[in-house]
Structure 1
Amino acid sequence: MDHPDKAFPVSWDQFHRDARALAWRLAGVNGKWKSIVCITRGGLVPAAVIARELGIRLIETVCVASYHDYAEQGELKIIKEVAPSLLQDDGKDVLIVDDLTDTGKTAAIVRAMMPKAHFATIYAKPKGRPLVDTFVTEVSQDTWIYFPWDMGFSYQKPIAEGEVG
């Protein structure tokens, strides 16, 4: 598995704090969101936290497959579309949530479905950042984020003992 040189491991604790930080920012943007549309799979966890924090009950998914083997981003395919009722008025008062915007390709597809929706992610990389309205942390394009649901506990070599990129 070939990943960029920089690793950014995120613990469950850190991810929860970052999702709550995003909720704080979103609370000041709109008086009342009518729903959340989360981009699966990465958007599921932050959407649950944000829905709790902001009192949003209607959570919808849009399923877009992009990282086919976690190494290369292949052709994008919409596996499940958004409910037509949320597409009315171009997604006005809808909050789109994802964990990360990387290249912006997935974000562009979902944003095109709901151009008036507010797009929020926990993390943003430079290529995808212009498509996001609100985010918490920007990371460099060559950083690979290891999300807590992708990791298990294991020994980590000290940086001094490994190769530094």
Structure 2
Amino acid sequence: MTTAAPPPREVLPWNRFGEASRELAQLVSGGGWMPDLVIAVARGGLIPAGAIAYALGVKAMGAMNVEFYTGVDQTLPEPLLLPPLLDTSVLAGAKVLVVDDVADSGRTLEMVMRLLRTGSAPATDQHVRAPSEHLPAEARSAVLYTKPRSVIEPDYTWRRTDRWIAFPWSTLPPVTAAATTEA
């Protein structure tokens, strides 16, 4: 009996991640645009957003918690905005850079950008609305990777790939109490 070969993976080690973050920050600043605030799409965008904010010298940060992927190529029917919600009153008139690790299907990034640009989330989350006076003056997006099937084209992309990406912060399984007591 033969087993199927694992799908090809794009591996991003920690040292290359540091270089990638700085290169992505240079793409953002290279056009003369500079954000007032960096928003991470949690969880995958938290580490890239922090690195990019440092590289750009931006101290103001926030996060939007979104759940969509539940495993390799396994998703919920729609991206779901999770609490705690971002205080949108701080966004009024600001230039905002939204950072995520990857625009795979692009549906998570599309939802976040729609919320920041129009004040409303998708039909499944109509109770989530930002008052129009809380909308940023401009919202742009940056990702480490964009896949060909993404429904949205991020404003800034470091690399393009059709492979599953092994990020250094998510390659190992979660630490659990049972795993730590076995060691």
Query: Normalising by the residue count of structure 2, what TM-score does the alignment of the two structures yield?
Result: 0.73
CA distance in 2 between partners of 1:149 and 1:16 (Å):
12
- Summarize the Cα distance change of 1:58–1:128 in structure 2 as closer, same or farther, 3 Å threshold: same
Give the corresponding residue for 1:49.
51
Give the corresponding residue for 1:163.
none
**Amino acid paired to 2:70:** H
Give the corresponding residue for 1:58.
60
Give the corresponding residue for 1:68.
70
Give secondary structure in 2 for the equivalent of 1:131.
Answer: coil
Gaps (5+ residues) in structure 1?
Answer: 153-165
Given the alignment of the two structures, is residue 85 of structure 1 paired with residue 89 of structure 2, yes or no?
yes
Give the corresponding residue for 2:122.
none
In terms of mean alpha carbon deviation, does 9-18 or 121-130 score higher?
121-130
Instruction: Please state how far the C-alpha of 1:103 moved relative to its aligned partner.
Output: 0.2
CA deviation digits over 1:62-93, x for unaligned, max 9?
Answer: 0000112334111321003332124435xx51
Work out whether residues 107 and 151 of structure 2, in 8 Å CA contact, stay in contact via their aligned partners in 1: no
- Aligned match of 2:155 in 97, 118, 133? 133
CA distance in 2 between partners of 1:3 and 1:120 (Å):
32
- Summarize the Cα distance change of 1:125–1:50 in structure 2 as closer, same or farther, 3 Å threshold: same
% identity of equivalent residues: 28
CA deviation digits over 1:106-146, x for unaligned, max 9?
Answer: 01110101223010001100122733111110002xx1101
Give the corresponding residue for 1:150.
170
CA distance in 2 between partners of 1:38 and 1:45 (Å):
8
Work out whether residues 37 and 96 of structure 2, in 8 Å CA contact, stay in contact via their aligned partners in 1: yes
Give the corresponding residue for 1:122.
144
Alignment RMSD:
2.1
Work out whether residues 66 and 80 of structure 2, in 8 Å CA contact, stay in contact via their aligned partners in 1: yes
Give secondary structure in 2 for the equivalent of 1:127.
Answer: coil
Larger radius of gyration: 2
Work out whether residues 39 and 63 of structure 1, in 8 Å CA contact, stay in contact via their aligned partners in 2: yes
Query: Normalising by the residue count of structure 1, what TM-score does the alignment of the two structures yield?
Result: 0.80
Give the corresponding residue for 1:7.
9
Task: Name the count of aligned residue pairs.
Answer: 147
Gaps (5+ residues) in structure 2?
Answer: 118-137, 173-183
CA distance in 1 between partners of 2:87 and 2:114 (Å):
15
Give secondary structure in 2 for the equivalent of 1:117.
Answer: strand
